[in-house]
Amino acid sequence: MVRRAATACAFGATLLAAACGVDDPVLDSGPAATKVVVGAADSVHSELVAEIYAHALARAGVATEVRQLDPRVSELAAIDAGQIQLGSETTGDLLVRLNPTAAQTKPDEVFTALNQALPQGISVTDYAAAQERDTVVATTETAERLGGADLEKIGSRCGELTLGTSRALTDKVVKALQDEYGCRFREVRNYGRADLAAGLTSGDIQVAIMPSSTTALFDGNLVALADDEYVFAAQNIVPVLRTGALPDAGIVKLNIVAAELTTSDLAELSAQVDAGKSAVDAARGWLDSLDL
């Protein structure tokens, strides 16, 4: 399903583009579309998602190419400027950019509010389970000692814990953790993002705030603590496109991709790229593994 909104909005943008065409040999039946340019922001995750979208669309008969965006330009701004037709965003961040007073945090509520805030001529399709959302993380040993991998369960014991974070916590987040879970940490320490996992395993900190798609979360030693109240707003990956840029077959394909792409998939694909595989090969391998 494509969602469309009627709120008018304009975005200025500049783009430095390095384009590469996509010519996937596995094509579904259906009419070919005018070439669709898929934008990739300056991150491994964004590049992977762009390649997944581009190759999935190619298999639906839509001609595509992937274009690297200037780091200063959002994908939404590039779409508005006509420099790309399709990109990916995270639902919570995009909602706040469009409506800074938005208070929704749960996935469906965020998505509904996002649809209401979208500028005229911009659409989104279904969002994926895959998220790039902040989460509170502990080692499996610590979670077991505290009584479970759940903020609700450990809230009363936060006074025993030192929290590591790679950025200053906002008063809003600190208050929300206290209000929702009764969680008041013994101490908060700032770390470099790359050092958080080591800090957890060494015991220097007992919990840390890390992105949900961090590769280290899927090695069996670390666990994300359930945040059922969504103190950290949902950040589901969602395709954002120029309304009318894709044929129906392309929309269906993006929705199928959204139904399959998980946070652990994104972490695994990122690990493959870190190990030397190209984003193109990683994306195509993921699509092939699901017969997409």
**Domain boundary residue, one of 224, 247, 265:** 224
Are 119 and 219 within one domain? no
Q: What is the pLDDT of residue 213?
A: 84
Residue 246 lies in domain = 3-131+236-289
- Going residue by residue through the chain, which has 292 residues, state the pLDDT in tens, using 9 for 90 and above: 554 443 333 333 333 333 345 544 333 334 444 799 999 998 999 999 999 999 999 999 999 999 999 888 888 889 989 999 999 999 999 999 999 999 999 999 999 999 999 999 999 999 999 999 999 999 999 999 998 899 999 989 999 999 998 877 777 788 889 899 999 999 988 888 888 988 998 999 999 998 888 877 887 789 999 999 999 999 999 999 999 999 999 999 999 999 999 999 999 999 999 999 999 999 999 999 999 9
- The model carries a pTM of 0.83
Are 46 and 91 within one domain? yes
Are 125 and 140 within one domain? no
Are 119 and 172 within one domain? no
Q: What is the pLDDT of residue 11?
A: 34
Q: What is the pLDDT of residue 2?
A: 53
Nearest by Cα to 127 from 224, 240, 39: 240
Q: Is 94 helix (H, G, I), strand (E, B) or coil?
A: helix
CA 154 to CA 62: how far, in whole Å?
Answer: 49
Q: For residues 94 and 240, is the Cβ–Cβ distance under 8 A?
A: yes
Are 218 and 255 within one domain? no
Strand 19-22 and strand 62-68: pairing? Answer: antiparallel
Q: What is the pLDDT of residue 4?
A: 40
Q: What is the pLDDT of residue 287?
A: 98
Are 115 and 254 within one domain? yes
Instruction: Return the CATH number at 83.
Output: 3.40.190.10
231 located within any domain: no
Are 172 and 138 within one domain? yes
Domain count, the chain: 2
Residue position matching structure tokens 């009764």: 182
Are 124 and 13 within one domain? yes
Q: What is the pLDDT of residue 73?
A: 83
**Domain boundary residue, one of 180, 199, 224:** 224
Q: Is 50 helix (H, G, I), strand (E, B) or coil?
A: helix
Are 47 and 156 within one domain? no
